[in-house]
Structure 1
Amino acid sequence: MKKILGLMVAVTLIFGGFYYGKAFGQEKQISLKLAHINVIDGMLDKHAKKFAELVALKTKGRVKVDVYPASQLGNMTEMLEGVSMGSINMCLESEGMFLIFDKDYQIFQTPFLVTKEIINKNEFIKQLRERVRAKNNIRVLAGQGWRPPFHLWTQKRGIKTPDELQGIKIRQVQSKVQIDVWNGLGSTSVPIPWGEVYMALAQGVVNGMVHNIVQVYEEKLYEQLNYCTLLDSLMVWQTVLINDKVYAGLSPDLQKAMNESAIEAGNYFTDLASSIEGDARKNVEKAGIKFIQTDRKPWFNKALAAAKKLENEGGWTKGLLKNIGY
């Protein structure tokens, strides 16, 4: 009987890379996979590694987070769906990309309208998080990291006003609100996965994109671009997202350590992103990128008009623009 019990205790629980158990009184390490799409040693990778380091420290080695960078476990959508299904334990991604699960998340991805204050103080986003957790089995850990603001990058010519966007094909993520707003501004939006952007620019599939200076530098995308119009068009925050069943399988003290690690890693990332943005700008300027200052108001007005049209067409629940102050 004792032998049977010993064998039963030694059995390992495997759930999408989730490994935990006790054998002969010895607590075994929990191994978790964390995926992201950024290049190795890019700023998102540093965020992920900092989180893994903090988890190991705070759990005294009881939890080990293995980081899989550079879309090794799939593109953005595949990664999120993997966490939802349990084939991936965790990922580091913009919470706004939950729009693939709940259309109301689109309101927080609207170019030119969303600010840090709206994200930090809006109560509706808490309801959305719970909806996605309950329906799609993904939990948002505490804390967030803010990426540098997004700007417009182009090849053919520098852009100062929305009217000059005619004929410009702009790469976008697979987001209806971002596609519709940028189409409303005058461009032609083309959704392309992040890992394919460099080639799309090189081959002329698109001749522009919208992103932050640091990642354009890290991914060497500036090699295929000539101009950057400074617009602060989008504020993107990223969080550690975990399969809810994996999270529920952790003891309360480990859950606490995971959330504390996510908060500290998010703060680390926000400071890091801010500190390296200036150097990234200098480097792309040296490479030939010309930066353009412009009046943001015409862009904001057109974006708001496009967002109102989208709300009227059922892009998200009626009244959400008013909910965030518009």
Structure 2
Amino acid sequence: MSLVRYLVETIDLLDDPNVDGDKVRKFFISKGLEKYLDFHIERINGEKGFTDFIKIVIHGARGKTNGGSAPTLGVIGRLGGVGARPLIKGLVSDADGAIVALAVAYKLAESASRGEGVDGDVIVTTNVCPSAIITPHRPAPMMSSPVSIFELLKREVDPQMDAILSVDATKANLVVKGSGFAITPTIKDGWILRVSDDLINIYMWVTGRMPVIVPITMQDITPFSTPVYHINSIVQPWIYTHAPVVGVATVTETVVPGSVSGATNIISLDEASRFIVEVAKGFTAGNVKFYDEKEWDTIMRIHGEVRQILTRGMPD
């Protein structure tokens, strides 16, 4: 199974200087998929502009929206913006999170329309801004949303999500390099847990390669309000949820700024998208775990919570 067709159509949709949430909604309607999902758009205004927040709920056969009890997977497309207009023309490297999230939603909804949907609901959230901001970052510039990251994170995380995959372009760094995509350890309530065996297996099945793991540090766990180096915002959703969070990072062998155009790699996006679809199948069916519950109970019994320490300094 390849998601190239879904990705190509999604890229074409987003590579538009006038793209917004309503254009994305109309795209899904044009595919005849409105029966299989709920679509929500909210325009968020900030001091430096606005972005359109998008939430798509794809109904699972045994999902909560259909009165069932199958687990719900969250898929968050993290990014500053799909474009940096008028400074940069075209789709920027940072757009990967939105591309993958929307292509996955497209694929899952179409599968449901064919009678082969996943068991549980899948909630996809992202934002679309064709004129975001370029900000300094070492070793290369990155993209930032014109609105507060915390305003976005609050919306990206839904209480119904039982586990979360957070997709983010992770190319402007020197610590995780390669082709395709990488995954992070599981983050839960501020604890960096071991990498899930189930997710490693799916990674290897999808790519035919040994997994690449993002070396997440405690600095990356701290909120963006803490003025220290963060690899990016890939695991920041943990701040607003008790569900386990795993980052899905599109990576490159060289340093690629998030603000450059011409860097959209369909092969990397296809691998990351197929990984997420396979996790959605397994997790909502109850066959994939993001962390070991017994080990988590042991950590809580002996060491306790760290959330209060790690979220100090956050805005209300």
Bucket of the pairwise TM-score, normalised by the shorter protein: under 0.3
Q: TM-score, normalised by structure 2?
A: 0.26
Asked which structure has the greater CA Rg, the reply is 1
Structure in which a larger fraction of residues adopt helix = 1
Q: TM-score, normalised by structure 1?
A: 0.26
